[in-house]
Each structure stands twice: as C-alpha cells, then as structure tokens.
Chains A and B, each alone.
Chain A
Amino acid sequence: MKIIVCIKQVPDAKDVRLDPKTNTLAREGVQSIMNPYDQHAVEEAVRLKELLGGEVTVLSMGPPQAEEVLRQAISCGADHAVLVSDRAFAGADTWATSYTLAKAVNVIGPFDLLLCGKQAIDGDTAQVGPGLAMRLQIPYVTCVQKVRQATETGLILERMMDDGYDVLAVDFPALLTVVKDINEPRVPSLKGKMRAKKVEIRRLSAADIGADPACIGLPGSPTQVVKVFPPEARCKRAVFTGSLDEQIVQLVDSLQSYL
C-alpha cells in the first residue's frame, strides 16, 4: 500500500519566544524539530508498511532547511521524501497550505492513506489535515489513538473523544490525523540514518505542482494574524526540570522558603 505522511518542521516548544516588537515567533537561534505529532504519524505509517507491505512517502511544505525533518523521517523508516518549497509559498495560512499540499499529493500520485499529526505545535490549528482531505475529496478521521485492524482495503480505528473513544471503519483512500497515544516513535536505526544522509529529496516548486499563484502563500491566505501576544503572567512561576525525583526535590526546596 502507498502511504503519504505530511510533516512539518517547527520551532522546539521548549525554546519558543515572541519577538516583542513584531509579536511574531522569534525563530533565530531556536532549534527546529519535527512536529511531535508528526513523528507519531511517521511511526504509524512505518508500522502499517511493516504489516501490509508498500512504501511510505513523507511530504513537507517549507523552506529548504525543512529537509532536515524529511531526512529524520527517512532514518525512522520512511522510503521517499518530497519537499514542496518555493518563496511564493511564504505566509501561507491553513487554507493555502492545504491547497498546496493537495496539489503536491496529486503530483506524487495515487495513494491509499494520508497521515498527518493532529496539529502542529507552532500554530496549533489542527486544520491542515482535514482541509487537505476536503481538497482531495476523501474521507478523514481526526485524533486517531489506535489502529485496531488494518487490511488491504481499509482500517478500523479508535478516535479519541473527551469522554472515551469512537470506533470507526474507513475505506482507502482516506486521511487520518493522529494523537500521541497511538504509538511510541522508534529511535532511528543505523541503516536508516545512513540512508537518510544519502537519500535524494525530491523538490517541487509552485510551478512543478501547477499551483495557481492566487491560491498560495500570502495572496492565497484569507487568514490574517492581526495581533499575537503572550498572555500576561498572573503570578510568579517556576519551571522545574530534570527527573521526577529531582523535580520533587526542587519543588519541596522552593516551597520551604514560604514556611
């Protein structure tokens, strides 16, 4: 079976700061990682491939350095990588992004399953997965916490809900977005890392995917971010790090000063 996984490079949430002047995310000096939910999507795709055979293609829209997360996915078992990259894509909102990814998916070719993380930890919209499914006119299931059964023709899934879960059956082709409970992503393998170093990443530009210039990047984005601001700090806060035991010691130490 053919699986495509959409992944995104995001700033590591541990380091996120806002630029006080522009109120946008300050990305300089902030380490980039693969969106954590997407790591689970890659893992699930690789597991399905190991179960049913086939191949996994990872797809990302982003600047050239987004190649890093594509290579990371290859090191964890994906077979092919496609980077959709063009200056014209800059400033895309979820509407323009889902348009662009849909165009790219059509260039990649037929597929059985599309996987996405539930949401990206930078924008937190959770819109691109469902948006992409709508553009491709395929069914989608969000917040999948478990694949109960997988066959050549479809899946039986658990969808996480506030008060439990739904059990759903879906036929291919379909799109899923996954939550972290679905699996534990593997550590990359040595052979995977060596392949990732050498693998050729297919680059697609706006022209390559036949994108309408009016539908991509800032011109194609109806959403405008008027203002971004950090919520006002309500009181003195401290974040403890280290192992649970160490954090407990730190917590007790800091509480003792109030006694």
Chain B
Amino acid sequence: MDYFLSEEQTMIAEIARQITDERIIPNRAELDEKDEFPRAILNEMAQADLFGIPIPEEFGGFGGGCLDIVLALEQLGRGCIGVGTAFAASSLGIYPILIAGSQEMREKYLPDVAAGRKFAGFGLTEANAGSDASGIQTTAVLDGDEWVLNGTKQWITNGGEAQIYTVVAITDRSRGARGASMLVVEEGDPGFSCGPKEKKMGIRASSTTELIFKDCRIPKDRLIGRKGTGFITVMKTLDSSRPGIAALGLGLAQGALDEAASYAKQRVQFGKPIMAFQAVQHMLADMAIQLEAARALVYGAARHIDAHPNNMSKVSSMCKVFATDMAMKVATDAVQVMGGYGYMREYPVEKMMRDAKILQIYEGTNQIQRNVVGQELNKEYARA
C-alpha cells in the first residue's frame, strides 16, 4: 500500500533498508548464536545519521518525528529486532532529556547521542517494580551538591554498552507518585556498575543487564527536570517510544512473511509448490492482511502523534498492542508454514518467533497497554 511518505521519509527507509540487507541480515544468526552486541552495525547506523533522527537539528540531529523513527525501526526490525532494540533503546534513553531536560543538559548529552558517539539506556524496571512502577525502591538522596543513589535496576537494555543512562529513583517516598525523579547517570560514575549480561530467549544481540548503584554519587545538576516529576517524564517517554516497538513488530512480521511466502513457492509436496494449496495460501493471506492492517494503524498513530504531541497515550498503546500481537502471530504462523524447516536454526523464522515474544512484554506489557486504552475510554465516555 502507498502511505504517501515524504521524500525525506523515503530516504530514511532506504538507508535503514540498505543497512538491514547488507549489514544486519548477513550477521543476525551469528549475533544471536553468540549473544554478541552489534557494535559495528550500530557504528554504521551512526555514520548514516540514523541515531540523529529523533534529536532536534540544533543538537546535531535530524529533527524527525514519530513516523520517521517508525520507518527506520520497521526496516531494522525486518532484519533483527535484537539489533533494532539496541538502536531503539538509545533513543529511549535520551527521550527523558528531550522531554524534560534543561537546555544545558540537552547541549551536554544530545549531540554525542545524535552522532552515535555515545549510546544511551533507560532505567525504570526493578525486581519489584515492573508493570507497577510505584514499587520502585532505588533512592536518590541529596547530599550537599551531590545526589547519592542506592538500588538496583533490572533488565536494562544497553546495560554495560551505553555511556549515558536515564534512571528513575525515589527522591521523596512520602509523596507517592510525586516522589519519583529522573536523573542522568554516566558510565564511570563512582558507585555505579552494571551486572553480567542476562541470558535471554530472543533479541540476543541486544545487551540486558542490571544497573547497580551503591552510594553512587553524581552532581546535583544531573536531575532531569524538576524534582518529583519522574513518573510524568517516564509516562511521556514511553508514550513516545511505544510506536517504535510497534514498528519493530511490523518489520519482524514482514521478514517472517517474506521467508514463509518464498519458502511456500519453492517447497514441493504432493507434486506442487505448497503455495498452491489453499490451506497454506489462506495462512499467508491472513498474515499479509494482519500485517497491512497493523502497518496502517502504526503509521496512522505515528502521524497522529506528530500532529498532536499532547494527546498520544491511547493511540501509542493501541498501535503497540496491535502490531506486536500481530508480529507474534505472524512469526508463529511463518514457522508453521515452513514446518520442520521453520523450526530449525538454519532458517531465520525460528529466531523471529523467539524474538517476537519480547515485543508483547517490554515497554509496558500488552496487558498494561490495554489498561491504558481502557482508562482513556473510561475518561472519554465519562464526558459523554
């Protein structure tokens, strides 16, 4: 379908497509097998200016919107959402600075991230604070001119690979949700370390570790925005980033459909390519229909967000749920179409199916996304 993309948007997609075809697809199986962080590929993306897409031009970026980043992530996701996640998490890590950081803070951090000289990560989740962010136990206490952080963040993407982390910590427990703040922690800060790399089912090219703060002392000016605004910044950050996860789902599903359809054309059983059998054709047709419907929703949501940045929660959650549930279904069906071959590591759909699962879990589980949509509906219908 023609989505009437601008010339610049077409360029973004072309560049990401070329990196995906030439750099990611030939290397994805090895990165997965070895749990290897795709440093060289990310450097290539940096050289191609992809890290600058969401960053304003005054900080050396491209000043792109939600649809721009969606188009890049869709292409990367077609190759490997592990690589796509490593890339996307760097954007996620700087969104709090973009959303709530001071001008000085933006000048300090954004140019390096835009150029891909530094990567970023986002630290929210803890052992007892996943879907319920109010369970956060990491604290930040002001001591003279320094914040002192204590606590442990869990499952942080780009952990150990990023140089800049935006972290949520409780600065005043008595104030509940208004007692959380966001701070910037840099690689090398005293008292800050990363745990070992977690062993995951999928997206194994991406690095996932704990962030450990033991009397970690950072300067006072690392506070992002005002004290107590941490949760608001987190919510705005996730609203902005979710369409990117939806886009990884689109890409993954496209990759899975491409593999399944070309296999079905070639695989002969009962004297015919299995594409000729209606049972297979209908599966492929359903995969294509669901994918296109999801793409229309994600692009539409991204355009809505670009036009109405203050009213994005509902569409952001809607597109994340729909596209990632679709990706899981399409990847599973791609394995089914390819039968035993699909289950083997020699073929890429096995990895796609393992990878797809995380899309329904991270950046807010799909159940939490439905809560967001439901709560928005509740508000809308209360007014009616």
Residues of A whose CB lies within 8 Å of any CB of B are 186-194, 197, 243, 245
15 pairs, A vs B, C-beta closer than 8 Å? A186-B47, A186-B48, A187-B18, A187-B23, A187-B47, A187-B48, A188-B48, A189-B47, A190-B15, A191-B62, A193-B14, A193-B15, A194-B8, A194-B11, A243-B26
The 5 closest A-B pairs by CB, nearest first: A190-B49, A189-B49, A193-B11, A189-B48, A187-B48
Closest partner residue, chain A, to B347 (CB atom): A245
Within 8 A of A (CB), among B32-52: 44, 47-50, 52
Establish whether residues A190 and B347, one from each chain, have CB atoms under 8 Å apart when the complex forms: no
Establish whether residues A197 and B18, one from each chain, have CB atoms under 8 Å apart when the complex forms: no
A51 CB to closest chain B CB (Å) equals: 15
Establish whether residues A187 and B11, one from each chain, have CB atoms under 8 Å apart when the complex forms: no
Residues in chain B near residue A187, CB distance under 8 A: 15, 18-19, 22-23, 44, 47-48
In whole angstroms, what is the CA distance A234 to B108 when docked? 66
B326 CB to closest chain A CB (Å) equals: 25
A164 CB to closest chain B CB (Å) equals: 28
Give 4 A-B pairs besides A187-B22, A188-B15, A189-B15 with Cβ atoms closer than 8 angstroms.
A189-B48, A190-B11, A190-B62, A193-B11
Chain B at the A interface: SS class? helix
Q: Which of B18, B49, B50 has the most CB of A within 10 A?
A: B49
Query: Total interface residues on B, using CB and 8 Å?
Result: 22
Residues in chain B near residue A190, CB distance under 8 A: 11-12, 15, 48-50, 52-53, 62
Residues in chain B near residue A245, CB distance under 8 A: 346-347
B305 CB to closest chain A CB (Å) equals: 21
Any chain A CB within 8 A of the CB of B7? yes
Residues in chain B near residue A193, CB distance under 8 A: 11, 14-15
In whole angstroms, what is the CA distance A197 to B347 when docked? 39
B343 CB to closest chain A CB (Å) equals: 15
Q: Which of A187, A191, A193, A194 has the most CB of B within 10 A?
A: A187
Within 8 A of A (CB), among B1-37: 7-8, 11-12, 14-15, 18-19, 22-23, 25-26
In whole angstroms, what is the CA distance A189 to B14 when docked? 10
In whole angstroms, what is the CA distance A194 to B49 when docked? 11
Q: Which of A186, A189, A197 has the most CB of B within 10 A?
A: A189
Residue of B14, B44, B52, B346 near A186 (CB, 8 A) is B44
Within 8 A of A (CB), among B339-359: 346-347
Q: Could you mark each residue 202-245 of chain B with 1 if its beta carbon is under 8 Å from any beta carbon of chain A, else 0?
A: 00000000000000000000000000000000000000000000
In whole angstroms, what is the CA distance A203 to B47 when docked? 30
Residues in chain B near residue A194, CB distance under 8 A: 8, 11
Establish whether residues A197 and B7, one from each chain, have CB atoms under 8 Å apart when the complex forms: yes
Residues in chain A near residue B7, CB distance under 8 A: 197
Closest partner residue, chain B, to A77 (CB atom): B47
Residues in chain A near residue B52, CB distance under 8 A: 190
Q: Which of A191, A193, A194 has the most CB of B within 10 A?
A: A193
Closest partner residue, chain B, to A190 (CB atom): B49
In whole angstroms, what is the CA distance A187 to B18 when docked? 7
In whole angstroms, what is the CA distance A187 to B11 when docked? 12
In whole angstroms, what is the CA distance A188 to B11 when docked? 10
B117 CB to closest chain A CB (Å) equals: 15
In whole angstroms, what is the CA distance A190 to B8 when docked? 8
In whole angstroms, what is the CA distance A148 to B86 when docked? 34
Closest partner residue, chain A, to B11 (CB atom): A193
Closest partner residue, chain A, to B21 (CB atom): A187
Residues in chain A near residue B53, CB distance under 8 A: 190
B32 CB to closest chain A CB (Å) equals: 14
A256 CB to closest chain B CB (Å) equals: 12
In whole angstroms, what is the CA distance A182 to B18 when docked? 21
In whole angstroms, what is the CA distance A243 to B22 when docked? 12
A45 CB to closest chain B CB (Å) equals: 16
